[in-house]
Amino acid sequence: MQPDRVRTDTAQPARRGQSVNPIDYSVVHEVPGRLRLRIPAMGSPGYRADYLEAWMEASAQVTDVRANRHARTLVICYRDANAGRDTVLRRLAGFSPEPDNGLPEDGVTEAEVTPMIATLFTLAALPFLTPRMQMLLTLVNVGSTLAKGADTLINQGVKVEVLDAMAVGLAAANGKLYTANITDLLLNLGEFLEHRTARQSDRLLRRLLRPDPAMAWVERDGQLLQVAGDEVEAGETVVIGVGDTIPVDGRVVDGAALVNQSTVTGEDIPVRKEAPSRVIAGSVLVEGRLRVEATQVGQDTTTARVARFIQESIGKRTDTQRMADDLADKRVYITLGTGAAVYAATRDLTRLQSVFLVDYACALKLGTPVAFKSGMSRAAEHGVLMKGGEAIEHMADVDTIVFDKTGTLTHSDLIVTDVRVLESCGTCSEQELLALVASVEEHASHPVAEAVVEAARARDLQHISHGEVDYMVAHGLSADVEGGCIVVGSRHYLEEHMQIGFGAHQALIDQFESEGKTLLYVGNAQGPIGLIALRDTLREEAAPTLARLHALGIRRLIMITGDRRAKAEALAAEIGIDEVHAEMRPEEKARIIEALRAAGHKVAFVGDGVNDGPALSIADVGIAMPRGADIARATADIVLMDDRLSAVADAREIADRTMRLIRTNFTAAVGINTGLLGGAVLGWLSPVASAVMHNGATIGVLLNALHGVKLDRDRLPPPAEPPTRSPD
């Protein structure tokens, strides 16, 4: 029976500056819940198999994807045998080729497999050849190993490749042709497995490089239009249905749904989203329907930032990695010297070959970067973006963490705590004053205005009609209302510009300010009519997180705040802060960090504001909160994707355990190879046994590094999934 051939003419439109060909595929085989497709274009320039896998895995219906670029096939396992098949094929139709970004493919390359196949052919042919032909075929087969060793010696000096070439060459020269070929096979097999493992660690990270968004349904000019995800503009409303990948970061304006955020935040259980919740690009809508106002689009979305951070970090080298490389290179000389001493004492070429086949370089040089990449991947799964292995390395060394209070220890969203009516307001009530101010402030977009409007909405207060609103940037606004003109803003604005004095109410103002509250001043032609007090709220997880940081080895926890000292010290005592810098101006943050570092402390700074940039860059480790300013995220070494303080403790624990894993692997590599070297010196190991055990130990170290680390909470049984219901 001929397979069904399908040409998907509904493929995603081209991204800017890129042409797209519709995907041509055929269904080779299928059973309920599983499809095998042949895609002729797979493997050709622009059709990266690993990105196609990642694209398909983003669908909530897909449980497993395996791409074989050599066979040009794609196997997809999916849920819901009835509706899942159509969803999967629609998802495939939306795939668009990724441009080559210099990253290697995950698949096996021909250059890696060919030497092993050639060696197997040589071993099979040797019994049927004359001695001279056996020698000739062996030299041809091991020639690449000998040439690599000679090239390394000439251009780089004595490296592990030189030892391998000497071991194989000595066996061949001594007439031990089977030993030479088998040793060459084991060396190539070990190199192949090492590269495969290293590529797998990169794959863990590149799985986080989510493809560009799928198609998006956007409301434009009263119509619902389908456009490419990266063509959505900020402020537009996107409609998202079941199975769709959310293409933008945004705020829900209507609807209710369950959203799977696991590919971005690592949360196992779908999260309920409804107005005014935030949604993250790359999440998948599992149930329900949402209308979302786009706030971050294109290269500003969460997934795009993840892609940039991870891609920049893959090639970075750390101090630990450089140290491992140096130690590995020095131990080559130890192996070489040991071999020379053994041969001088025994004149036994077999022992010399066995010694040369034991080296430290592979496990030390590859194990460290693999462990760093695994740590970065694990951190990303927990909503922590670490910009390279250096961020892990430095975070593990930190002994002092400095918190900017607002937006870190507290939520960045303000809430209204007090509404006070003053004498010039006449007979108006607090409710009427709040409704009046909210009606004017709804035309502004700053956090104070949003908090006032939200407070009025929560109290179900009616909008009060007013005239045109006049703004004075960074000061306040005014508007005509029934009975005169109302002025809302800072004290400086009302007193210096509008000549409305609040001196008679200084005691009340001092009381609010001593409580760490922000004040919004309200007046009219008759004088001051009211005060609205706001404050940020303490994060519920602040105290447990700080206690956990102490348990993880952080000796000093410091808070910087502009609050009055009494209020700041009371908060510090409540949540477990060790030291407080109160009544501080923003520009003084960097000076505090510099003083701590000058005193010998390893300092991490946690902040989220524009004025936190200098402190984030000066600290040994800068940590930016997810809702922080762009400059804070760009300057930071670590960016938190989840708006939770406990992610700081996650970052510390992952960094500490990753460095511990690297030290464990380092000790194991040195110990095991030293034992093998001793066995080779004593003549207990043949060259073949030496190669097998050495490569086995190396692969074991790499697999342990690839497995990575887990947080304590990862080892707990998952919580029972709460019952869900379909949205009305």
Q: Is the pLDDT of residue 225 over 90?
A: no
**Per-residue model confidence as pLDDT tens digits over 44-63:** 765 667 677 767 776 657 77
What was the pLDDT predicted at 579? 93
pLDDT at 653 over 90: yes
Q: Kindly indicate the confidence band of residue 606, based on its pLDDT and cuts at 50, 70 and 90.
A: very high
**pLDDT mean across residues, the chain:** 77
Mean pLDDT of 605-623: 80
CA–CA dist 108, 285 (Å, integer): 35
User: Does 4-93 carry CATH code 3.40.109.10?
Assistant: no
Give the model's pLDDT for residue 210: 46
pLDDT above 50 for 328: yes
Give the residue with greater pLDDT, 141 vs 362.
141
* Average pLDDT of span 347-364: 75
Q: What is residue 552's predicted lDDT score, i.e. its pLDDT?
A: 94
| Position with higher pLDDT, 649 vs 212 | 649
Q: Which residue has the higher pLDDT, 197 or 42?
A: 42
CATH of domain 215-300: 2.70.150.10
Q: Please give the single-letter amino acid code of residue 125.
A: A
- Comparing C-alpha atoms, which of 635, 659, 410 is closest to residue 545? 410
The one-letter amino acid code at 697 reads A
Query: Position 448: which residue type?
Result: V
Asked whether the predicted pLDDT for residue 530 surpasses 80, the reply is yes
Q: How many angstroms separate the CA atoms of 435 and 461, rounded?
A: 6
- Catalytic pick among 164, 184, 404, 656: 404
SS3 588: helix
**Cβ-proximal residues to 713 (8 Å cutoff; 6+ apart), any chain:** none
SS3 of 4, please? Answer: strand
Q: What is the mean pLDDT of residues 89-114?
A: 61
Cβ atoms of residues 522 and 487 within 8 Å: yes
3-state DSSP call for residue 35? strand
Using alpha carbons, select from 651, 658, 654, 653 the residue that is nearest to residue 637.
651
Contacts of 300 (CB under 8 A, 6+ apart): 249
SS3 18: coil
Mean pLDDT, residues 531-554: 91
Return the percentage of the chain with pLDDT > 90, whole number.
Answer: 13
Q: Do domains 4-93 and 411-537 have the same CATH topology?
A: no
- Would the pLDDT of 192 be above 60? yes
Distances (CA, A) of 530 to 270, 517, 586: 44, 15, 29
Q: What is the pLDDT of residue 104?
A: 45
Please check whether residue 261 is in contact with residue 273, taking contact to mean a CB–CB distance below 8 angstroms.
no
pLDDT computed for residue 269 by the predictor:
53
Tell which residue, 176, 42, 196, 201, has the closest CA to residue 116: 196
* Phi–psi pair at 532, nearest 5 degrees: -120, 120
CA distance 626 to 646: 13
The pLDDT of residue 102: 41
Q: What residues are paired with 251 via a beta bridge?
A: 278, 293
What class is the 382-410+552-650 domain?
Answer: alpha beta
244 is catalytic: no
Record: fold of 411-537: Calcium-transporting ATPase, cytoplasmic domain N (3.40.1110)
Q: How far apart are CA 87 and CA 103, in angstroms?
A: 30
The segment with the largest mean pLDDT, out of 36-50, 55-69, 538-552, is 538-552
Residue 311 has pLDDT above 80, yes or no: no
Pairing of the two strands 400-404 and 603-607: parallel
Check whether 291 has a pLDDT greater than 50. Answer: yes
**Domains in the chain: boundaries:** 4-93, 215-300, 382-410+552-650, 411-537
pLDDT at 720 over 90: no
pLDDT over 90 at 448, yes or no = no
Q: What is the mean pLDDT of residues 619-629?
A: 79
The sheet with strand 410-421 has its strands ordered as 410-421, 527-538, 518-524, 484-489, 476-481, 469-472
- Residue-wise pLDDT tens digits, 454-510: 899 888 888 888 888 887 655 678 888 876 788 998 888 888 888 889 988 999 988
